[in-house]
């Protein structure tokens, strides 16, 4: 019996290691934006002053780069996680501090996108993608970082028609300049295991009892602010609850699965940016009568960097692609 040869149609039977033309266009557009707007002097200045690049954020929103994976009806561009990874990679390759600040301007919004009500999506996703304000997601507490599944110190207690929140969160991206803080609270203090009693609430900036301050002197990426948020009898309405009561831990894990891919794309871009700069320097600089790149020990190092970056790239885009497949 003759076995007929497989069709050579890309993406149907075989592996297809290439971006679509549309994805390449997005990459080219982001690269052009960064070349034009990410001036080294501005990056150095904002990083030194630990200031968020507000103007660049608004321009990036106009071009559709922020919230590129939000549905169009909520101000997004309707793309997926592969396109979000392209934006993150290109921006962070151009500049680590400006790139990181911009790609994290919509941090945590995935929680609203997947589990929020229609009103929450319309209000908060459109706000961030429309260049009107930054989001923040507050999970980490001073007493626990990785150990979120423990009983949280931040508590939300039912009061009247809403909830009252008390507690402290730390290392929160976009604090103190975010427009709202998606906050993980312990809502059932008896339940075992404790993570079955956690709930997410949206707390708007300016709500009485909410205070946020910036953590200064970070080692790097200082244009992306990181801060502490405290809640002292902060009252929110029942409409502030995101997703299901006592399912906040699971919603937060879904967000972390997605954000880890974006953070990996950020690291990939920063590594590529470092290689670009090292290569440029090695080609320019002369020592001992020849260019650095002609010294074998140096070119070995650069080749090793390029190899590790390529391996990282494959893993990052595979993970983004899997997310887009719903896996």
Contacting residues toward ligand FAD, per CB under 6 A: 107, 137-140, 145-147, 171-173, 226
From first CA to last CA, the distance across the chain in angstroms is: 38
The candidate with the shortest Cα–Cα distance to 85, out of 327, 326, 315, is 315
- Given a contact cutoff of 8 angstroms between Cβ atoms, the answer to whether 155 and 167 are in contact is yes
Min CB(203)–ligand FAD separation in Å: 14
- Given a contact cutoff of 8 angstroms between Cβ atoms, the answer to whether 287 and 280 are in contact is no
Residue 163 to residue 280: CA distance in whole angstroms = 56
Min CB(92)–ligand FAD separation in Å: 14
- Given a contact cutoff of 8 angstroms between Cβ atoms, the answer to whether 91 and 30 are in contact is yes
Burial bucket for residue 314 (CB in 10 Å: 0-12, 13-18, 19+): exposed
Q: In terms of CB distance, is 186 or 226 closer to ligand FAD?
A: 226
Min CB(167)–ligand FAD separation in Å: 12
Q: In terms of CB distance, is 91 or 107 closer to ligand FAD?
A: 107
Over the range 162-186, which residues count as b (16 or more CB within 10 Å of their CB) and which as e?
Answer: bbbbbbbbbbbbbbbbbbbbbbbbb
Give the gyration radius of the chain's Cα atoms. Answer: 22
Token pair for residue 318?
């595979």
Q: In terms of CB distance, is 84 or 172 closer to ligand FAD?
A: 172
- Beta partners for residue 181, in sequence order: 136, 203
Min CB(277)–ligand FAD separation in Å: 22
Q: In terms of CB distance, is 96 or 226 closer to ligand FAD?
A: 226
Residue closest to ligand FAD, measured at CB: 145
Q: In terms of CB distance, is 77 or 112 closer to ligand FAD?
A: 112
Residue 50 to residue 189: CA distance in whole angstroms = 38
Min CB(148)–ligand FAD separation in Å: 7
Q: In terms of CB distance, is 200 or 271 closer to ligand FAD?
A: 200
Q: In terms of CB distance, is 77 or 268 closer to ligand FAD?
A: 268
Min CB(117)–ligand FAD separation in Å: 22
Min CB(172)–ligand FAD separation in Å: 5
Residue 327 to residue 324: CA distance in whole angstroms = 7
């Amino acid at each position: 019996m003759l076995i007929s040869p497989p069709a050579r149609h890309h993406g149907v039977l075989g592996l297809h290691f290439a971006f679509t033309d549309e994805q390449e266009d997005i990459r080219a557009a982001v690269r052009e934006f960064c070349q034009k707007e990410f001036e080294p002097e501005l990056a150095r200045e904002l990083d030194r002053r630990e200031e968020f690049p507000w103007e660049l954020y608004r321009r990036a929103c106009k071009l559709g780069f922020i919230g590129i994976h939000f549905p169009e009806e909520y101000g997004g561009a309707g793309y997926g996680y592969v396109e979000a990874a392209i934006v993150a990679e290109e921006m962070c390759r151009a500049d680590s501090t400006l790139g990181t600040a911009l790609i994290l301007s919509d941090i945590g919004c995935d929680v609203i996108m997947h589990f929020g009500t229609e009103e929450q999506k319309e209000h908060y996703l459109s706000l961030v993608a429309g260049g009107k304000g930054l989001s923040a997601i507050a999970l980490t507490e001073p007493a626990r970082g990785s150990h979120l599944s423990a009983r949280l110190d931040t508590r939300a207690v039912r009061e009247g028609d809403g909830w009252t929140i008390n507690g402290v969160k730390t290392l929160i991206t976009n604090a103190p300049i975010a427009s709202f803080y998606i906050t993980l609270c312990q809502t059932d203090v008896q339940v075992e295991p404790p993570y079955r009693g956690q709930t997410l609430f949206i707390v708007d900036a300016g709500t009485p009892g909410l205070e946020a301050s910036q953590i200064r002197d970070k080692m790097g990426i200082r244009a992306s602010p990181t801060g502490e948020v405290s809640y002292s009898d902060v009252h929110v309405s029942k409409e502030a609850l995101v997703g299901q009561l006592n399912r906040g831990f699971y919603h937060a894990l879904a967000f972390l699965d997605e954000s880890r891919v974006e953070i990996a794309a950020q690291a990939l871009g920063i590594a590529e940016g470092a290689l670009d700069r090292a290569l440029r320097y090695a080609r320019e600089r002369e020592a001992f009568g020849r260019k650095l790149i002609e010294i074998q020990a140096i070119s070995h190092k650069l080749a090793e960097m390029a190899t590790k970056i390529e391996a990282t790239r494959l893993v990052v885009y595979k993970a983004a692609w899997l997310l887009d497949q719903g896996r």
